Amino acid sequence: MADCGAGGDNHPNGPLQARPGVAWAGLEVIHSPGDNPTPKADPVSDTSSPRGPLRRILEASRPARPWQDGDQLPWSDPAFSRRMLDVHLDPATHMASRAPDVIRAHVDWLLEQLKARAGTPGPWRVLDVGCGPGLYVHELAARGHAGCGFDFAPAPLRWARDHAVANSLDAVFLEADLTALPGDFAALAGAPFDAVTFWFGEFHSFRPEQARAFLPRLASLLRPGGLFVLEYQPWDLFVKEDAATWSAVDSSPFGARPHLWLEEFAWDEDARAEIHVHWIVDADTGETSRFAQCNQAWQDDELLDALAAAGIADVRTHPPITGVADEFEFPVLVGKRS
């Protein structure tokens, strides 16, 4: 990988990807009136044990195993996604979406990359993977660069569409699962694109076999010479040790009622992945729910090989665009569709 200096303006912010717990730590207490008390948990662990929540937590298998004892948070759950939308739109936190000044800096940088490497003059069309409330797509569209974002969290997508309509932005937002894109997705999204962006290390929340399957599909949505932009978490930024923490909150993305929020982190050397387990204990009823999310680590050569197999060539490495902090902003790989 060629090493390049960061271009454009500088500022940062984002969800979690490094050590998933880093981004959740210190999360502001939020409340959305009318939300369900808790989102749907893993079906295996959705009901409390007759022996009590503490016994159930104490008797859980440890350490939890990435990809076997859970994989992703319930992003598509309506109540969970409504509460997460509050976090997405809070400019004071890095827990879900980046702050407006950071997004502007990233878009400045992206447009510089397109100007230098795309081979065509703007305006350019951009596809944003896992777009959430569409903040990157909105910023690009406000500058005259049409695009599309897709996600499967309903509340952020609804907000993204409403904002685009209210501000007359040339932006499309689709509900789609990256691991199961429909056959007509290219037509629905408006491919081909001048760039596909995959921000904030979200790439690491998928199993290796899933990533190797969807990378060629994403590359196929680019025009020849189009840019594939991947913000990734380097191997040495994964915390390879176990830890646990807890907090008492009035509400969180996991529930609108007061609860205890216990978190466990475990690294699995064989899987080369980490798992972040959330135990949510309702303060009034004692009902316990368990959620888990995983992040897959990749060595640089493995990642380059996966990109090459997907048809992405001439990959260059850029340092974090704004340099805010290792846990909130990562290096970026930029390659071209061959």
Mean pLDDT check: name the lowest of 41-55, 141-155, 204-218, 231-245: 41-55
**Residue 14, pLDDT score:** 30
Cβ-proximal residues to 262 (8 Å cutoff; 6+ apart), any chain: 57, 244, 245, 246, 278, 279, 280, 281
Q: Are residues 185 and 107 in the same domain?
A: yes
Q: Are residues 256 and 122 in the same domain?
A: no
Q: Are residues 307 and 170 in the same domain?
A: yes
Q: Are residues 58 and 186 in the same domain?
A: no
**Residue 70, pLDDT score:** 94
Confidence of residue 51 (pLDDT cuts 50, 70, 90): low
The predicted-structure confidence for 205-221, as pLDDT tens digits, reads as follows 999 999 999 999 999 99
- Average pLDDT over every residue of 6-27: 32
**Residue span of the structural domain in which 291 resides:** 38-75+239-296
Reduce the DSSP state of residue 189 to 3 states and report it.
helix
Tell me whether residue 86 is in a domain.
Answer: no
**Residue 17, pLDDT score:** 32
**Residue 16, pLDDT score:** 35
Tell me whether residue 306 is in a domain.
Answer: yes
State the pTM of this model. Answer: 0.85
Q: Are residues 6 and 131 in the same domain?
A: yes
CA distance 229 to 126: 10
SS3 content of the chain, % helix, strand, coil (to 5): 30, 25, 45
Domain count within the chain: 2
Q: Compute CA 35 distance to the chain's CA centroid, rounded to the nearest angstrom.
A: 23
Tell me whether residue 138 is in a domain.
Answer: yes
Tell me whether residue 325 is in a domain.
Answer: yes
Tell me whether residue 312 is in a domain.
Answer: yes
Write down the mean pLDDT value for the chain: 86
CA distances to 27, 32, 76, 132, 155 from 159, rounded to whole Å, are 22, 15, 14, 9, 6
Q: Are residues 69 and 111 in the same domain?
A: no
Q: Are residues 153 and 170 in the same domain?
A: yes
Q: Are residues 101 and 144 in the same domain?
A: yes
The predicted-structure confidence for 251-281, as pLDDT tens digits, reads as follows 999 999 999 999 999 999 999 999 999 999 9
Return the CATH number at 194.
3.40.50.150
Tell me whether residue 215 is in a domain.
Answer: yes
Tell me whether residue 33 is in a domain.
Answer: no
Q: Are residues 259 and 206 in the same domain?
A: no
CA distance 249 to 27: 10
Q: Are residues 174 and 322 in the same domain?
A: yes
Tell me whether residue 28 is in a domain.
Answer: no
Q: Are residues 126 and 225 in the same domain?
A: yes
Q: Are residues 161 and 57 in the same domain?
A: no
